[in-house]
Amino acid sequence: MFSYWLADYGCIVADQTINNYLIENFPSGKLSRYLIYMIKKYFRMCAVLFSGLLAWVLSVLSASGQGININYDEEKVGSHSLPDLLRLPDSTVVTTAEQWTSQGRPATLQLFKTHVYGELPDKLPGMHFKVRNENKNALGGLATRKQVTIYFTQGADGPSMEVLLYIPNKVNGPVPAFVGLNFYGNQSIHPDKGIALSTRWINNSPEGIVNNKATEASRGLQASRWPVEELLKKGFALVTAYYGDLEPDHSEGWQSGIRTSLKTELNLEEDKWGAIGAWAWGLSRIMDYLEKEKRINPKQVALTGHSRIGKAALWAAANDTRFALVVSNESGEGGAALARRNYGETIAQLNRSFPHWFSPAYKNYNQQPEKLPVDQHQLLALIAPRPLYVSSAIEDKWADPQGEFLSAFYAEPVYKLFNKKGLGALEMPAVEKPVGETIRYHIRNGKHDIMAYDWQQHLAFAQKHFKLKINAKP
Which string of x and - marks every residue 353-392 that binds ligand GTR (by CB under 6 A)?
Answer: x---------------------------------------
CB of 281 to ligand GTR, least distance (A): 18
Q: Which string of x and - marks every residue 118-157 that binds ligand GTR (by CB under 6 A)?
A: ----------------------------------------
A 10 A CB-CB count for 415 gives 26
Cβ distance 119 to 273 under 8 Å?
A: yes
Binding of ligand GTR by 332 (CB under 6 A)? yes
Residue 435: name the closest of 446, 421, 447, 455 by CA.
421
DSSP code, position 176? E
Q: How is residue 190 annotated by DSSP?
A: -
Stretch that binds ligand GTR, among 94-102, 159-167, 315-323, 345-353 (CB under 6 A): 345-353
3-state secondary structure of 315: helix
Beta carbons within 10 angstroms of residue 363's beta carbon: 15
Q: Which of 307, 342, 376, 438 binds ligand GTR (CB under 6 A)?
A: 307
- Say which residues have a Cβ less than 8 Å from residue 192's Cβ, sequence separation at least 6: 138, 139, 145, 219, 220
Which residue in the list 32, 128, 205, 448 is annotated as catalytic?
A: 448
Smallest CA-to-CA distance from 85 within 375, 326, 466, 350 is with 375
Q: Does 345 bind ligand GTR (CB under 6 A)?
A: yes
- Name which of 128 and 397 has its Cβ closer to ligand GTR: 397
Count of alpha carbons within 13 angstroms of residue 209, beta-carbon side = 18
Interface mask toward ligand GTR for 28-47; x: CB under 6 A = --------------------
Task: Please report whether residue 308 would count as binding ligand GTR according to CB under 6 A.
Answer: yes
Nearer to ligand GTR, 148 or 443 (CB): 443
Annotation says 448 is catalytic: yes
SS3 87: strand
Active-site residue, selected from the candidate residues 307, 328, 331, 407: 307
DSSP 196: P
Minimal distance, residue 403 CB to ligand GTR, in Å: 12
Q: How far is the CB of 160 from ligand GTR (least distance, A)?
A: 24
- Nearest CA to 59 among 139, 3, 130? 3
CB of 204 to ligand GTR, least distance (A): 15
List residues binding ligand GTR (CB under 6 A): 307-308, 332-333, 345, 350, 353
